[in-house]
Amino acid sequence: MAKHQFQTEVTQLLDLMIHSLYSNKEIFLRELISNASDAMDKLHFLTLTDDAYKALKYKPKIKIELNKDKKTLSISDSGIGMNEEELIENLGTIAKSGTKSFLSNLSGDKKKDSQLIGQFGVGFYSAFMVANKIEVLSKKAGEDQAWKWVSEATGEYEIKKAKKADFGVKITLHIKDDESEFLEFYKIEDIVKKYSNHIPFGIYMDKEETIPSEKEGEEPKKEIKEIQVNKASALWTLNKRDLKDEEYKDFYKQISHDSSDPFLWVHTKAEGTIEYKTLFYIPSTPPMDLFRVDYQPGVKLYVKRVFITDDEKELLPTYLRFIRGIIDAEDLPLNISREILQKNRILETIKRASIKKILGELKKLKEKDNGKYLEFYKNFGKVLKEGLYGDFENKDTLLDLVLFKSSKRDGLISLKQYKEEMQEDQKSIYYITGENIALLKNSPLLEQFKAKNIEVLLLDEEVDAIVIPMVHEYDKTPIKPVNNSDIDEEIKNEEKVSEEDKKEMSEILVKMKEILKDDTKDVKISSRLSDSPSVLVYDKNDPDFQMQEMLKQMGQDNLPKVKPILEVNPKHEIFRKIIENKDFSSLQDISFLLLDQAKLSEGIKIDDVASFSKRLNKYIAKAL
């Protein structure tokens, strides 16, 4: 028997399980049944598509056995099984979901923490909440050797060769003394019906039944009968009129490994040229891998109720990666390959219709219950915005669904609401991008807009800098950034730059352009400023700072440097004193100070902090 050490973080996780951190202990059974169902799904698929397995005869079945004398609960399946290598990989380590992330996300709230189990793929280990020892007897389909995995959660596990007549897995839990309720038939039956009623395979248990005697005075007989304790029906194939909300919720928990109720579900049956059924769920809380490149897709593909894959990211667009659920197509071949899957016309049709259906339901929710929609948007708004980047077919719907912060209100606003409240002579929808909402609210770029009571959208999310510049209009109204140089021609303060100001500033501008020629594209007089001395804007054909940063993060480091335009306020006290004193000796330092100050106002890092500090200290000392 070979001994192995658990991965360090698994040991920490087991310690938490053993000490009953979680109050909802019954979910261990849901997790083990779901694993068994997945194993049979995989084998069923192979018997239909892989020549090595087509001759394999098996009956899909999950069996739960209780032994009160030995204090054991066992769950066996006739699925694909695991060999020694797979037992080590699947039960001795945590794969890409990451126990470290799991541990760091624990809140101390038992109910909330128990919901993390399924999200992080650590469901098997939840069995240690009720067991002090677990044995896994496994034989992989197509192989002769069976293996036995044993652990008492002490930091190590053992694997040895074993004997098993049939392929599949049998997990035996040695139940703790104080968890004896999980040895009761009716308790286990209730848990199965609660969480696993609609998995597509039968779950069986032995039930003791009393048979009345036919002869008077003779004791009734006891008989053990094997009964099926779940419906084993594919819920998504049933008529939604016949289904209760609780059934939808329980099925969601079974397929998502999430203990909380779903936020919303959409059940569709399409008939006609292409026949299919879909059942989509929106979770109440974001999946933990929502913003990871290697996120696990949440939609399973079936063909005529036969499981095909749950690892295909092409079934829905990435901006809907939070969706959980089922697609069951009638007209696809069972042996469809991954390459064909990605280019299949039928699946593409289903995908397009599914996107429209999901977005349509969200639009209805937003119109009927804005408060509930805000709950959804808090969790998934950032992801939804990603759709504006590439889903041009649904762009108009997405524009109606996305929300933004604003310069004139505390809450979020839609583009429709913004347009309805535009000033009478306002020509465009305006926005500003950045990372710090406080800086955005107080940006010099907003001074002229505040003066004319024009609302500006404050876009402080990373995705905004990528997607919003691609959205040129909403409902025939242009959408423009406030830091573009041509905005000056569209919005003017009442107090325009006079010819006298231009004449007085002409020499200063010439000198500043020469001083800042390596750092700016131009230096010009601004009519947009009332209080600040300077501000950075960009040529309408150039990407602004936020867009440049996003392009760098996307790996485009070799892009040519884009220089901003420095606009200065001719009425500011700094320039008035330079003009009055006719002293340009300080213009070298002042030019760089105004440039750096303008950068700071927009959240841009100063390249030469030492020089900035030196110049600033010099003028502070002069002022004292």
Rounded Cα distance, 222 and 210, in Å: 5
User: What band does 322 get if pLDDT is binned at 50, 70 and 90?
Assistant: very high
- Distance between CA atoms of residues 34 and 88, nearest Å: 20
> If pLDDT is split at 50, 70 and 90, which confidence band does 120 have?
very low
Measure the CA–CA gap between 414 and 466, rounded to whole angstroms.
19
DSSP assigned state of 318: G
For 401-429, write each residue's pLDDT tens digit: 999 999 998 899 999 999 999 988 888 99
Predicted confidence at residue 111, as pLDDT, reads 47
Q: List, for residues 477-504, the tens digit of each pLDDT value.
A: 999 998 877 776 666 554 566 777 788 8
Average the pLDDT over each of 41-45, 73-77, 502-506, 559-563 and give the range with the smallest value.
559-563
pLDDT confidence tier of residue 219, bands split at 50, 70 and 90: confident
158: left (phi over 0), alpha (psi -120 to 50) or beta: beta
100 pLDDT more than 60: no
pLDDT at 265 over 90: yes
Domains of the chain: 2-211 (3.30.565.10), 235-373 (3.30.230.80), 402-490 (3.40.50.11260), 499-623 (1.20.120.790)
CB 534 within 8 A of CB 566: yes
Please compute the mean of the pLDDT values over residues 545-553 and round it to a whole number. Answer: 70
Asked if pLDDT for residue 395 goes beyond 90, the answer is yes
Give the pLDDT band of residue 162 (cuts 50, 70, 90): very high
In this predicted model, which residue has the larger pLDDT, 616 or 559?
616
Percent of the chain with pLDDT over 90: 44
User: Which pLDDT score is estimated for 98?
Assistant: 43
Angle of helix 185-195 relative to helix 245-256, nearest 10 degrees, comes to 90
Beta strands 168-175; 264-270: pairing state:
unpaired
Given this model, what pLDDT does residue 49 score?
Answer: 81
> Which amino acid would we find at residue 161?
K
* φ/ψ of residue 70, rounded to 5: -90, -5
The two three-digit tokens of residue 55, written as one number: 């001759």
CB of 543 within 8 A of CB of 551?
yes
Q: Which two tokens stand for residue 484?
A: 């573009």
What pLDDT, on a 0 to 100 scale, did the predictor assign at position 233?
A: 85
Residue 286 CA, chain-centre distance (Å), reads 6
Where is average pLDDT lowest: 313-327, 483-497, 503-517, 600-614? 483-497
Residue 535 has pLDDT above 70, yes or no: yes
| Ranges 4-13, 104-113, 250-259, 319-328: which has the least confidence | 104-113
pLDDT at 187 over 80: yes
Contact criterion met (CB below 8 Å) for 98 and 121: no
Beta-sheet strands, E only, within 454-582: 456-459, 473-474, 477-481, 522-525, 534-537, 565-568
Q: How far apart are CA 397 and CA 394, in angstroms?
A: 5
Provide the token pair at 74: 């066992």
Question: Of all residues in the chain, what percent carry a pLDDT higher than 70?
Answer: 87
The backbone torsions φ and ψ at residue 525, rounded to the nearest 5 degrees and listed phi first, read -75, 140
Contact status, residue 283 vs residue 319, Cβ threshold 8 Å: no
Q: What is the mean pLDDT of residues 440-448?
A: 89
- DSSP, res 26: T
At residue 206, the 3 state secondary structure works out as strand
For residues 540 and 483, what is the distance between their CA atoms, to the nearest angstrom?
9
454-471, pLDDT tens digit by residue?
999 999 998 888 889 889
Residue 16: predicted pLDDT: 63
Between the alpha carbon of residue 617 and those of residues 122, 594, 599, 602, the distances in Å are 57, 14, 18, 22
At 165, the pLDDT band (50, 70, 90 cuts) reads very high
| Residue of 23, 78, 47, 33 lying closest to 255 (CA atoms) | 33
Q: Which residue has the higher pLDDT, 153 or 315?
A: 315
Average pLDDT, the chain: 85
pLDDT at 114 over 50: no
- Ranked by mean pLDDT, which of 2-11, 332-341, 385-394, 476-485 comes out on top? 385-394
Do 126 and 99 touch, CB atoms closer than 8 A?
no
